[in-house]
Structure 1
């Protein structure tokens, strides 16, 4: 594995980044370094690590505190109404370049085969925390919906926004089909709190914290990110210069 570590660059360097998952430095030097890290990490993971798993931990390693950051409570009336109803009539939509679009309730998702994993969340702010996550493997949903051959990216549309701009994230199909990529509904044995992304959040364990989209409402398969919102593959990528590839 390459000695150039994106985790070391992004997580270990407090001087390079400002206060993390909510904003990023606009320094041209920092952006250049981030770009180098992105290319090195992506090449290493795809050419060397392949489908390797991110490290997993024991229950004894679970952090006593796991920060709530980013948006902590979406303000959309439709979302708040779902919170009041306990997400009883909430549905996850899976559509785009699929043969069989789906709309699934939380109960239906919980009835599918589940994966539980204890993993570390690494934020670009410089902090990390370990938690246990349980949810549906994303690969299971994409296979069930019949992903079409031209699909290259999974886009996660979320219930929250920043200053009226919708929040979203995306990953490529290789990462979407990775066995540790799940849509989690449970954290440390309890249903997700609103602050941590209820009712469903993405866990893509080989990437940095800002890729772990909360409040996921829709998964859309697309052939290209061009023309989707700002065209760079995520809210922070569009508006704050974050790198789309956040592999660690």
Structure 2
């Protein structure tokens, strides 16, 4: 199947909060307060910025070293086999609330219309780096799959895990349709490395780094996040109290 032919102070404060959140957010009361704050942040940002773009930079601004966030090597045998043959047999699955479920190879993704952007990655751990990303706009893939009007969220199922618990993330349809939200296969004009998420990773440039899921294997359109793993929309949201909306 082919597609169409050819925060800065706030980030610091959030990082300090999240770094010590394991005990603090164990309280149901605190979790409720954090969720209320998340909703206010989401509503406020959407009201102020609408569909505005995240800042983009020039190649002269790019960081000499771009640190690795999260896992650097999935442990599954399936991923190891894909990596051994250069991801030639790898397929991206697109399903859920779509009219036309898709399976797409890396070659097909590379042959689709592309977007290149030089953006800053802000990690919740307190570091930032600027890099160049090339990939397929997620909105294009969803349109090609016939996304349903009932879909409210896009869930990204990944090849990596933490102690046997699969990694996943999710975004809402507003972010999914944003022009800077892409499935990147190229970083700094080179094929995406394994440590940085090969063969493809999500780039959702208006949110913190933990939302940029690596090793994406399947995209699922859903009407609700309830019942998907821990139900909070992502691995870190389920297990460490991170907010689902991580806007910057």
TM-score under structure 2 normalisation?
Answer: 0.91
Please tell me whether the aligned partners of residues 72 and 195 of structure 1 are also in contact (alpha carbons under 8 angstroms). Answer: yes
2:144 aligns to what SS in structure 1? helix
Q: Measured at CA, do residues 143 and 13 of structure 1 come closer, stay the same or move farther in structure 2, by a change above 3 Å? A: closer
In the aligned structure 1, how far is the partner of 2:45 from the partner of 2:34? 16
Please tell me whether the aligned partners of residues 160 and 166 of structure 1 are also in contact (alpha carbons under 8 angstroms). Answer: yes
In the aligned structure 1, how far is the partner of 2:8 from the partner of 2:124? 9
Is residue 26 from structure 1 mapped to residue 27 from structure 2 by the alignment?
no
Please tell me whether the aligned partners of residues 18 and 242 of structure 2 are also in contact (alpha carbons under 8 angstroms). Answer: no
Please tell me whether the aligned partners of residues 175 and 181 of structure 1 are also in contact (alpha carbons under 8 angstroms). Answer: yes
Q: Count matched residues.
A: 239
Q: Hey, what does 2:4 align to over in structure 1? A: none
Please tell me whether the aligned partners of residues 11 and 122 of structure 1 are also in contact (alpha carbons under 8 angstroms). Answer: no
**Shift of the alpha carbon at 1:27?**
1.9
Deviation sequence 1:39-86 (CA, Å, 0-9, x none): 343122211211000000000010011111211000100000000000
**Shift of the alpha carbon at 1:107?**
0.4
2:17 aligns to what SS in structure 1? coil
**Shift of the alpha carbon at 1:14?**
5.7
In the aligned structure 2, how far is the partner of 1:54 from the partner of 1:220? 25
Q: Hey, what does 1:46 align to over in structure 2? A: 46
Deviation sequence 1:140-189 (CA, Å, 0-9, x none): 00000000110100000000000000000000011000000000000000
Alignment of 1:1-248 (within 5 A): 7-12=8-13, 15-18=16-19, 24-28=21-25, 35=35, 37-248=37-248
TM-score under structure 1 normalisation?
Answer: 0.91
Gaps (5+ residues) in structure 2?
1-6
In the aligned structure 2, how far is the partner of 1:72 from the partner of 1:24? 24
In the aligned structure 2, how far is the partner of 1:155 from the partner of 1:237? 13
CA RMSD of aligned residues (A): 1.8
